[in-house]
Structure 1
């Protein structure tokens, strides 16, 4: 059975928001005869015809009012998204037709268009990390999740920035066609890891990149290499030849975070990676990442991620950790 996947674009849409998930669905069709392909793909816009993306590349689209039998409706993002969210024709069409689709989705900042159409009220959603606060401020009745790769709330699917649209598409392919097909498509896309929705959308080093440019790069590298050591403010201040009070003030001004918060973020990220990728016990990981004991790591996971380390591994760990191996790796 064909599932009609319709991508909605607008002037100054970001081409990768479209091409990434579009390619995932396309590759899921490659092994089937054209008349038996699992997906039918359409790119649509309000006026139809050529639409100029933010890169200057023009793409051919169908007029949105000509589109019917929609299974999955995907609104992309990009620099033109806020203008698109103010287009009465687009907003009204989405509002009128959303209930006809089995799934309603957005990639990156496309969530602003769905929110403008009143389709995200009381829904848990995500957008690009740099726009999460703006989305929450602009639409207080939307529950914005600032860290996730993608979120699913009933029939509403939303993704984080840009390439997270591929993760979103792979998750939908997995729902439609099974885990092994999603993995096959991920391999065809040469995606290093098929990330699950609850995983963070950007790493701690990426988040600290701006601070690194302001003189803390060597300190951050040292912290990453010594997570199992004493990383109190006094120790960090000594590394950069500052008094603890001066260091804490300057560091917070440059990073927007306290040193203690960054240390915990680094330790959490290292622990998450170890849970995902290794067979080390939770106790071993806690010691290696500087939590000192398993209980402190468990509390940090609960407080920051809303999940216990054992459950995190069960949800996001490599499939090779199933069964008896998983029990040993969990330290049970």
Structure 2
């Protein structure tokens, strides 16, 4: 392959989740087969170079000790799993993680690997996510981290955190797109028979699985912006100004590529995001209304009645999920 390969190191440890390691590795391997240039050179590293037994009982062969990993890295990934607490308490892992982070273009965690990143101080002052069932625990233990339990993955600077297990696949597909463009990312997703592809702002716990991002660049950029800025002015005029087009042209684009108007799209996204917050957090309705861009709880209530034919309080009673012990 022309050019130096992109060096990717995945940090494993005993009782890691197999999929937290396999999803990133297989996505990058598939991208290599489909023509990633330069390709990805993938290495599983452990603190002592020993093989690790994953939580499912299968043993993974380590390819390097962490102290043998030197030089510049493209991507450093910390796996999650039931062993994440022990890993977060291992001074050797944390020391190597801090060292390697200084030489990595991109740093990421899958699932509860965020606990290890946080313990190393790499999430201080950053927004991050993790498996929805561990979000409250992460926020309580590391108050300097802004934990968002909703998205599939979050990017803050060059640090990426992802939600539970298979969200590592979505995160790694976003790396492929970032490095090689959307066409290769779509081909990789097709090869893996997975979503093409779930955006990072899609909720972890969701009944509203969306299709692939719009092909049209301006529409795709605006839908991503809307999902990340729900509390801001998302009126048709404001969105058109952001895209540098007229409000009439914006309406035509949304109708052609999304089958709806900008205002209806925004209201739907706000309502579904509110539903997700009701499902996996205990935030009060006033906070959810504010965070999702509704002017009041009454506006939120009316949107819920229109969209789900039920008020938000009743929806929460049915759908709120408790974190595991």
Q: Secondary structure at the match of 1:77?
A: coil
Alignment match, 1:134: 137
Of residues 299-308 and 172-181 in structure 1, the stretch that sits farther from structure 2 once superposed is: 299-308
Aligned residues between the structures: 231
Match of 2:83 among 80, 96, 99: 80
Q: Tell me what 1:30 maps to.
A: 33
Equivalent residues in 2 for 1:1-332, closer than 5 Å: 1=3, 2-32=5-35, 38-61=39-62, 62-68=64-70, 69-204=72-207, 278-281=258-261, 303-305=290-292
User: SS of the residue aligned with 1:74?
Assistant: strand
Listed one character per residue, the Cα deviations across residues 66-109 of structure 1 (whole Å, up to 9, x for unaligned) are 11232100000000000110011001111222111001100000
Bigger fraction of residues in helix: 1
Q: Write the distance in 2 (CA, Å) between the matches of 1:116 and 1:300.
A: 29
* Distance (Å, rounded) in 1 between the aligned partners of 2:165 and 2:258: 28
How far has the Cα of 1:307 moved from its partner?
9.7
Q: Distance in 1 between matches of 2:60 and 2:159?
A: 26
Give unpaired runs (5+ residues) of structure 2: 210-253, 272-285, 296-325
Q: Does the 8 Å CA contact 2:34/2:187 hold for their aligned counterparts?
A: no
1:286-330 CA deviation, whole Å, 9 max, x = no partner? Answer: 9999x8xxxxxxx9997344599xxxxxxxxxxxxxxxxxxxxxx
Distance 1:287 1:107, change over 3 A: closer
Write the distance in 2 (CA, Å) between the matches of 1:300 and 1:134.
20
**TM-score (structure 2 length as normaliser):** 0.65
| Structure 2 CA distance for partners of 1:14 and 1:306, relative to 1, 3 Å | farther
Q: TM-score, normalised by structure 1?
A: 0.63
- Measured in 1, the distance between the counterparts of 2:93 and 2:268 equals 52
Larger radius of gyration: 1
Offset at residue 173 of structure 1 (A): 0.9
* CA 302–94 in structure 1, closer or farther in 2 if over 3 Å, else same: same
Seen in structure 2, the aligned counterparts of structure 1 residues 288 and 121 have a Cα distance that, compared at 3 Å, is closer
Distance of 1:286 and 1:170 partners within structure 2: 26
Q: Secondary structure at the match of 2:51?
A: strand
Question: Offset of 1:192 from its aligned partner?
Answer: 2.7
Gaps of 5+ in 1: 207-273, 292-298, 309-332
Whole-Å separation in 1 of the counterparts to 2:158 and 2:267 = 41
SS of equivalent residue, structure 1 residue 102 = strand
SS at match of 2:45: strand
Aligned-partner Cα distance in 2 for 1:300–1:88: 38
| Change in CA separation of 1:55 and 1:176 when aligned onto 2, cut-off 3 Å | same
- 2:231 matched to which residue of 1? none
